[in-house]
Structure 1
């Protein structure tokens, strides 16, 4: 006589957890990378990512498909700015003066300077000196390889704003690299 096997269907919570793990956890490195560049501190970045992951888990039911990485990066960005307003730090409140950061092309592009400056530390220091709005679009575009559309979704900005901010960020990065020529010259080709 065959045994009556009762198949217990998986609980909704276990299905939800498995879906979260499959979609969101692979994006954890990108989340930390963005948080690190925004916060400029490993411990603060870990706090931001922890808060973002809690929010992502809490509101995972509101994710209805699409790119989980973009969704998570938007949560990381929002978590950073929320936590920053709770604990303000002087260096994080640099304003973006559009007149100071005008677009003027007088020499090699930031990409060319980057190729000449093999020293990653120099590039990281220059990137850290950028105001937060400029740094975040550069990190999202150049390090996380997000499209303009994805950056617009993450930052809740129009694509035109993203494009102009990215252009200003590249110009400012160029100026930061030129401002410290001794560090760049030692790697001239």
Structure 2
């Protein structure tokens, strides 16, 4: 197995997840991950030790922001535009009422997450969706661990406010 396959390939799903949440666009996320994987391959000799996931997601984050800057002013596709029914379905069938509630809750959560500023969205995605440790998030986002923790607390508070706003508008 090549070093790239060993270190980077296991994190392609996490890379896509982060890019998708940061760009808000499925096609852009795929492009960002492809460009990031190419950069990781070209500069793999620079990775010495530590978390390969954090190193690779740092590249993905930077590429995502590069894409966002280049795409400023363009209208983006909503994050849930092409989710299949399988992706929004409950893990086990619970009946149509519970399935509808689950789908509605997932849509509200996605809408609330998309409303967060990118700096807050990225720490939520890395911690809650990718289950990364604080030290790795600090590496990816290039901020101290204390800032990760405070930003995460602020992101959770903002997410809660967004969810309450969305719930009140129903």
TM range (shorter): 0.7 to 0.9
Structure 1 residue runs without a partner (length 5+) = 1-16, 93-116, 185-189
From 88, 101, 118, the equivalent of 2:72 is 88
Runs of 4+ in 1 over 6 A off after TM superposition: none
1:20-31 paired onto structure 2 within 5 Å: 20-31=4-15
Paired residue for 1:152? Answer: 138
Deviation at 1:157, TM superposition (A): 0.4
From 152, 157, 168, the equivalent of 1:171 is 157
Shift in alpha-carbon separation, 1:21–1:183, aligned structure 2, 3 A? farther
The answer to whether the 8 A contact 1:135-1:169 is kept is yes
RMSD: 2.0
- Matches of 1:145 and 1:71, distance apart in 2: 15
Deviations 1:75-126 (A, max 9, x none): 100111122223324789xxxxxxxxxxxxxxxxxxxxxxxx8421111111
From 23, 35, 47, the equivalent of 1:39 is 23
The answer to whether the 8 A contact 1:140-1:146 is kept is yes
> Looking at CA atoms only, which structure, 1 or 2, has the larger radius of gyration?
1
Structure 2 residue runs without a partner (length 5+) = 77-100
- Matches of 1:147 and 1:89, distance apart in 2: 34
Q: Secondary structure at the match of 2:2?
A: helix
Paired residue for 1:104? Answer: none
User: TM-score, length-normalised on structure 2?
Assistant: 0.78
Q: Secondary structure at the match of 1:26?
A: helix
From 120, 134, 143, the equivalent of 2:106 is 120
- Matches of 1:90 and 1:134, distance apart in 2: 22
